[in-house]
Amino acid sequence: MNQRSTKIVQLLSKEKDEITVSGFAEYFQVSQKTIRNDMKEINEILEKNKRGIIDIKSGGIVSIPADFKDSLSLLLEGNFYNYKLSKEERKKVASAIIVNSADYITLASIADRLMVSRATVINDLKEIKKFIRQGNLEVISHANKGLRIDGLESDKRKFLFELLRPTLRTYDNHKNIISEHVHVQSGDINIIQKIIAEQERCYKKFLPDNSFREILLYLRILINRNKLGEFLEPQPEINSDNYMFSMDILKYVSQYCDVVISDDDIKNFSTFLDEVRFKNNGTFNKNTMIIQMITRQYISSISTELGINLNVDYDFFENLSNHLESIFSAPPMDYPEADIIDEVLEDNQDVLDVVIDQMPVIYKFTERKLTEIEVKYIAIHVCAAIERKKNKEVSFRVIVACHAGIGTSILLLEKLKRHFKFRVVDVISAHEAINIKPNAADFVISTVPLESCPLEYVVVSAAFNDADYIRVGNRIDALRNSRNIPDGTEDDKLNAAELIEEITPVINELVEPKDQARVVMKELRKVVRNYFKQSVENDANIISPSLHHLLRASDIEVDVECTDWKDAIRRSADQLVDQGYIEDRYVDAMIESVNEYGPYIVLSPGFAMPHAKVEEGSIRLGMHLIRLKNPVPFGVEELDPIEFVCCLSAIDHRSYLKAFFNLVNMLKDEEYRKKLHEAVDGEEMARIIEQYEYSIVG
């Protein structure tokens, strides 16, 4: 049997509670079909030896035969690791052994390492050589010495890296077959992680979780190879933005891991870093604002098609816009194929269909077509947003189990609190899971598999990404269905925003003067938010101001006369130019942006938000809104003519986001647009904007 099948047998022999195919699929991060095939393989062995077989009942419940424990010796007997490698596994492990060897290695030695016969290795050798050849390497045979690799050291390291790269997404070592059989990495993981993290902060080059793990793998292979005396061949001269970043990381690696580092290592590592994805984290992509506006349009489109309002999920908007920016700011990424992605989308084919159908909204911005896996990752973001909406009012009891100390626990807790209404009843170390009482919680969320946990659990990464969100969502769905608890996709009967909306006109009518009414409403909003336990960022937050902070009465003009869309853009920018928020060239850049990308700046019927790139003349964060006396067309038939034009001056990719997000959601309200249309002056429009903004943030 292969390793996973062996692990299934071990778990079945220990588990006392109900086990399901879906539970195994979640544990191993593979599809349910794969688990069923593994069980079929196990049953073939049992049948051949006239033993009772495993039965999969309705609902995927796994039932073991009465004599199952008597069959363990039959199923598990074998090598030290209690399983036999499949031919595919042998090929990969043997290839790693040969490529990593600093000298000739014999077939007998390889056979011993794999705990198979020499004849088995000979039978596999043709496939092994073919596999290694794919990495630009050749296996050379010598009659009296054995096998060695002919090829560049850089190609050897790349081969080992690509061989181990798929294991970066797994949760513990039992899935890393290669590392169990051959030592290809060296260096203290904790020390290297700290070095990378320190240089991230120093250079402000922040890494997403997957990129961080890739760099860690690269460095540990480098350390191992250099300690074996296998140094890189001379590397070409390069002009890399990451050269100093590379040099400082390797300087500390050399110091703390006691390894010799060469100039060629620095050059090669720089080239590697050039291909790594970094988080934006404050740097401003030239097309960031365009992507964010396209993202808003895309979310609106898929919300309409799905019949689920995802427009108010700020996390979804931010995550998806960052994801799209990452896609379009670099060459197509080699995303790791993951069974969890396909499995989630198998259950959400309607979501994937809508994501694909609405791609033309994104393609208005770019000529590059997204790959199949890139589209799937977008669909995962959508699925996660739907899960957030379903689970916003669910309050289950959970225990959080971590294997990496209190820091990891705190990080995971904050992520969970942000997205769920869980009541966390305990935070424990993974090894304490065996002591959990059966009724202590509804389920456990853990960063590692728990072999003896009496409760059902979900394995997530400490970073808690969208795939993790869906895993937890699946567990919640199962619990909800078993208890007949409705989900949250239906709008609540009453929420904070709706209550404030009901109260506001009453207060405005009964309280005089109007300034006093606004004071009363401000206090009432605090009380309502507290009652509904809905927080809102401090309105005085100057880092990310609200819309009404950027559109005061002095920032709004009414009944402005314009001849066409270009004139409307210029008039909306006049005051920002006069007050030193933008340079004259910024105005020309806004018009050129529409000429290049089309009228993407039209956000809703009758409303446009022109802007340009930061480096094209933006000085200070600001907005200026004009209402045209006679609306003009901008070239979007279903949204023309445009009555409101709001010029945006952005200084980075984040500070205006809250205001922009709120504006887009307010524009979906026809009553709001009607009131703006009927307002007599800028002061009245400013009051309307503030009132509606408070109502949507609740």
Residue 308 pLDDT > 70: yes
Last residue of some domain: 29, 44, 76?
76
Predicted local confidence at residue 165, as pLDDT: 84
Residue 591 pLDDT > 80: yes
Based on the structure, what is the number of domains in the chain? Answer: 7
Predicted local confidence at residue 148, as pLDDT: 92
Predicted local confidence at residue 616, as pLDDT: 85
- Give the separation between CA 213 and CA 246, rounded to whole angstroms: 16
Residue 538: band (very low, low, confident or very high) from pLDDT cuts 50, 70, 90: very low
Contact (Cβ atoms closer than 8 angstroms) between residue 197 and residue 269? no
pLDDT (average), residues 675-694: 88
Q: In 3D, which of 163, 153, 167 has the Cα closest to residue 93?
A: 163
Residue 127: band (very low, low, confident or very high) from pLDDT cuts 50, 70, 90: very high
In a domain, 120, yes or no: yes
Q: Point out the least confidently predicted range of 275-279, 282-286, 536-540.
A: 536-540
293 shares its domain with 372:
yes
Predicted local confidence at residue 57, as pLDDT: 85
457 shares its domain with 511:
no
pLDDT (average), residues 104-129: 89
568 shares its domain with 681:
yes
Residue 34 belongs to domain with CATH number: 1.10.10.10
Residue 432 pLDDT > 50: yes
Query: Catalytic one among 549, 611, 624, 653?
Result: 611
pLDDT (average), residues 360-369: 78
Q: In 3D, which of 160, 166, 162, 181 has the Cα closest to residue 100?
A: 160
Highest-confidence range of 135-144, 372-381, 416-425, by mean pLDDT?
135-144
527 shares its domain with 456:
no
Residue 541: band (very low, low, confident or very high) from pLDDT cuts 50, 70, 90: very low
Residue 498 pLDDT > 50: yes
Contact (Cβ atoms closer than 8 angstroms) between residue 529 and residue 496? yes
353 shares its domain with 317:
yes
Predicted local confidence at residue 68, as pLDDT: 85
382 shares its domain with 406:
no
Query: Is the model more confident about 538 or about 651?
Result: 651
- Indicate the DSSP class of residue 134: T
385 shares its domain with 419:
no
pLDDT (average), residues 516-534: 67
- Give the separation between CA 547 and CA 423, rounded to whole angstroms: 34
Predicted local confidence at residue 188, as pLDDT: 83
Residue 175: band (very low, low, confident or very high) from pLDDT cuts 50, 70, 90: very low
- Give the separation between CA 507 and CA 692, rounded to whole angstroms: 15
Contact (Cβ atoms closer than 8 angstroms) between residue 81 and residue 175? no
User: What type of residue is 374?
Assistant: E
Last residue of some domain: 332, 357, 391?
391
Predicted local confidence at residue 44, as pLDDT: 87
387 shares its domain with 402:
no
Residue 630 belongs to domain with CATH number: 3.40.930.10
Predicted local confidence at residue 230, as pLDDT: 92
209 shares its domain with 266:
yes
Please provide the distance, in angstroms rounded to a whole number, between the alpha carbons at the two ends of the chain: 57
- Give the separation between CA 87 and CA 99, rounded to whole angstroms: 18
- Give the separation between CA 389 and CA 397, rounded to whole angstroms: 19
Predicted local confidence at residue 139, as pLDDT: 93
Residue reference for tokens 């086990």: 19
Predicted local confidence at residue 138, as pLDDT: 94
Predicted local confidence at residue 526, as pLDDT: 66
In a domain, 81, yes or no: no
Give 372-402 pLDDT, tens digit per residue. 888 888 888 888 788 777 665 556 788 888 7
In a domain, 280, yes or no: no
Give 205-235 pLDDT, tens digit per residue. 777 777 888 899 999 999 999 998 999 999 9
Residue 116 pLDDT > 90: no
In a domain, 491, yes or no: no
Predicted local confidence at residue 172, as pLDDT: 39
Predicted local confidence at residue 279, as pLDDT: 61
- Give the separation between CA 619 and CA 586, rounded to whole angstroms: 10
- Give the separation between CA 559 and CA 676, rounded to whole angstroms: 12
Tell me the backbone φ, ψ of residue 485, rounded to 5 degrees.
-95, 125
103 shares its domain with 28:
no
Contact (Cβ atoms closer than 8 angstroms) between residue 682 and residue 553? yes
Angle at 153 (CA atoms; ends 149, 159), nearest 5 degrees: 75
Q: What's the whole-number average pLDDT of the chain? A: 80
Residue 543 pLDDT > 50: no
- Give the separation between CA 83 and CA 238, rounded to whole angstroms: 47
Please provide the DSSP assignment of 248-311 as one string. HHHHHHHHHHT----HHHHHHHHHHHHTS----TT---TTHHHHHHHHHHHHHHHHHHHT---T
568 shares its domain with 687:
yes
265 shares its domain with 358:
no
Q: Point out the least confidently predicted range of 241-255, 357-371, 528-542, 649-663.
A: 528-542
In a domain, 542, yes or no: no
pLDDT (average), residues 80-87: 60
- Give the separation between CA 557 and CA 628, rounded to whole angstroms: 9
**Six-digit token pair at 693?**
């903004």
pLDDT (average), residues 87-115: 89
User: What type of residue is 302?
Assistant: I
pLDDT (average), residues 413-437: 75
pLDDT (average), residues 578-606: 88
- Give the separation between CA 627 and CA 606, rounded to whole angstroms: 10
Alpha carbon 426 to chain centroid, angstroms = 26
In a domain, 513, yes or no: yes
Query: Is the model more confident about 690 or about 58?
Result: 690
Residue 405: band (very low, low, confident or very high) from pLDDT cuts 50, 70, 90: very low
In a domain, 82, yes or no: no
Query: Is the model more confident about 170 or about 288?
Result: 288
Last residue of some domain: 37, 56, 76?
76
Q: Dihedral through CA 651, CA 652, CA 658, CA 664, nearest 10?
A: 80
Annotated active-site residue 611? The verdict is yes
pLDDT (average), residues 670-696: 86
Residue reference for tokens 């009942």: 57
**Six-digit token pair at 527?**
């009380």
Residue span of the structural domain in which 243 resides: 189-274
Predicted local confidence at residue 531, as pLDDT: 60
Predicted local confidence at residue 530, as pLDDT: 59
User: What type of residue is 288?
Assistant: T
Residue 339: band (very low, low, confident or very high) from pLDDT cuts 50, 70, 90: low
In a domain, 37, yes or no: yes
The pTM (predicted TM-score) of the whole model is: 0.43
